[in-house]
Amino acid sequence: MEKTFRVILFLLVIFTFQCGCSPILSQREQHSTSTLAGQSSPVESQATPTALPERKITQVSGALPGSRLPGEPKGSAQIIYDQTCAQTVESKKAPGGDEYSNGRFERPFDKDMKYQPSLDINRSELIRSTDGWNYFTIFLEAQPETSKAVYGIELDLNIDGRGDYLIQAAAPVSNTWEETGIKMWWDSDGDVGGQVINRSDPKGYKGSGFESLRVDTSSGKNTGSIWTRLVGSEIQFALKNELTGGAGGKFTWKPYTDGMGISTTQYDVNDYFLLPAAGSPLLGERDYPLKAVYSLDNTCRGLSGLTPSGSEQGVCPP
């Protein structure tokens, strides 16, 4: 009897042990299976996620994402005609048009008075299109130089005779709109023009000129607002009209070519270099030939957005 009781007791202990251990083994097997399947354990899923460092995206070149490209100029054009030197090449002179003290240059010659038709402006046009762009075209006597020459527009946004923005571009090589080699400088302290606006200062004036760089497509600074292209021997600029005060903006514009590579801090050029040092392209003048200032051409200032009153500084005659 006692032996039978011990056997029964032994079997009860074995049964209890198996029932108590089986659920624990089952959980471990499920956990192991889940881990192998790539699922997180309950402890891991409740952990606070680690914040990833914010990635900063820097625009290197080209237009900003989503920006709109210029199209084709549509509308009536404002035209500025300019003196050219194509007919006086043999004489190594400009036929006229160089009014140095007034900031009008007709100097498409190198230091040896060799003619440079790629710098000689014969006319310029502005079309303020309804597509949100202002289109400026510079017509040259020959295709633009792809060396160190720059082509550009000077803008006076408050029509006080002092340039506010100086836009420069390397000669474009494509007939599609591109942003290659474009810079826009700003005169942040208002000293362009010196003490006598639109005239050479009697004793010269060396201010800081256009000293602040606002747009630089080579480094990706403020891209998407200025584009250029080549059409034959014409250079076209497209400027978003926000740069000129919007659809109703009032401003003056002056195209120029520069094969000399004048520093933007030396504007106005006729203040920085007085006539005796600059020289003259006009045969028979006391200061002929060209000296410190050469390979330079521009036009008078075109007035856009309002009818001239006669009091505007340096604008083209009506």
Query: CA gyration radius for the chain?
Result: 36
Question: 64-88: per-residue pLDDT in tens?
Answer: 444 589 999 999 999 999 999 999 9
Model confidence at 32, pLDDT cuts 50, 70, 90, reads very low
Q: Is the pTM of this model over 0.75?
A: yes
Residue 205 is encoded by which pair of tokens? 């004036």
pLDDT at 274 over 80: yes
Instruction: Give the pLDDT score at 26.
Output: 31
